[in-house]
Amino acid sequence: MNSPANTPDSAVNVAENLTRLQARIATAAKESGRAAEAVQLIAVSKTKPLSLVQAAVAAGHACFGENYAQELADKAEQQAAEWHFIGPLQSNKVKLVANAASWVHSIDRLKTAQRLSSMRDPALSPLNVCLQVNISAEPQKAGVQVEEVEALLAQVSALPRLRLRGLMCIPAPDDTNAFARMAALAADLRAKGFELDVLSMGMSRDFESAILAGATHVRIGTAIFGSRQ
């Protein structure tokens, strides 16, 4: 990873960081036996100003991730792009992302999924969703426990305005084979008939190992936009 510690926003070269990252993503994808296009880069712009989002758009990148519902809604209103919601989603914030986002990666409760489905504008295509898995079984962490994934998948896949795509995780830093377990879990669920084409895993510090394990979507903030306060 490059060393963006305490770099002011104005000094971050978003275009250069994106070019360097896409090259690393392409290399890791090829090592995993896939084309570069098989791995989608989600540029995580949380807490960063719209000017940096616009710098990425000017460089040809228009796929962003946000953690805070209000921040996603505000940025999406000002910049057309493919917006991915990746943070914890409280029921009372669902309305902010149901139509502003194209994707929600962090479903871990049926109630949130039901609200998203009922609030999604029928004129829009169905909202793409992933279930967040607490793959390292950390107490007090977001995500469904591994044993509960199948039951929730079955319920979420029945909701009309959602399109269930796959699984997402944020492993514990010392959990070295978490990505492999995610891939195995997804394969197991596919064998049971679930159509899952997405594994959303890997951040600035670990995206290459995530891709080698089969990630289709990597969520990268710091290595593109610099460190966050």
Ligand X SMILES: *Cc1c(COP(=O)(O)O)cnc(C)c1O
Choice between 161 and 219, CB closer to ligand X: 219
Cβ–Cβ < 8 Å for 200, 135: no
| Residue 44 CB, nearest approach to ligand X (Å) | 4
Q: H or E stretch including 42? A: strand 40-44
Q: Which of 76, 170, 178, 210 binds ligand X (CB under 6 A)?
A: 170
Region binding ligand X by CB under 6 A among candidate stretches 4-12, 54-62, 96-104, 218-226: 218-226
216 CB-near residues (< 8 Å, 6+ apart): 38, 39, 40, 166, 197, 198, 199, 200
Q: Which of 43, 86, 98, 116 binds ligand X (CB under 6 A)?
A: 86
Residue 42 CB, nearest approach to ligand X (Å): 8
Beta carbon nearer to ligand X, 44 or 76: 44
3-class DSSP assignment, residue 132 = strand
Three-state SS at 158:
coil
169 touches ligand X by CB under 6 A: no
Count the residues of the shown chain that bind ligand X, applying the rule CB under 6 A. Answer: 14
Q: Site for ligand X (CB under 6 A): which residue of 18, 97, 98, 220?
A: 220
Cβ pair 146, 185 in contact under 8 A: yes
Q: How far is the CB of 128 from ligand X (least distance, A)?
A: 16
- Which residue's structure tokens are 């390292």? 136
**204 forms bridges with which residues in the sheet?**
none
Which residues contact ligand X (rule: CB under 6 A)?
44, 46, 67, 86-87, 170, 203-205, 219-223
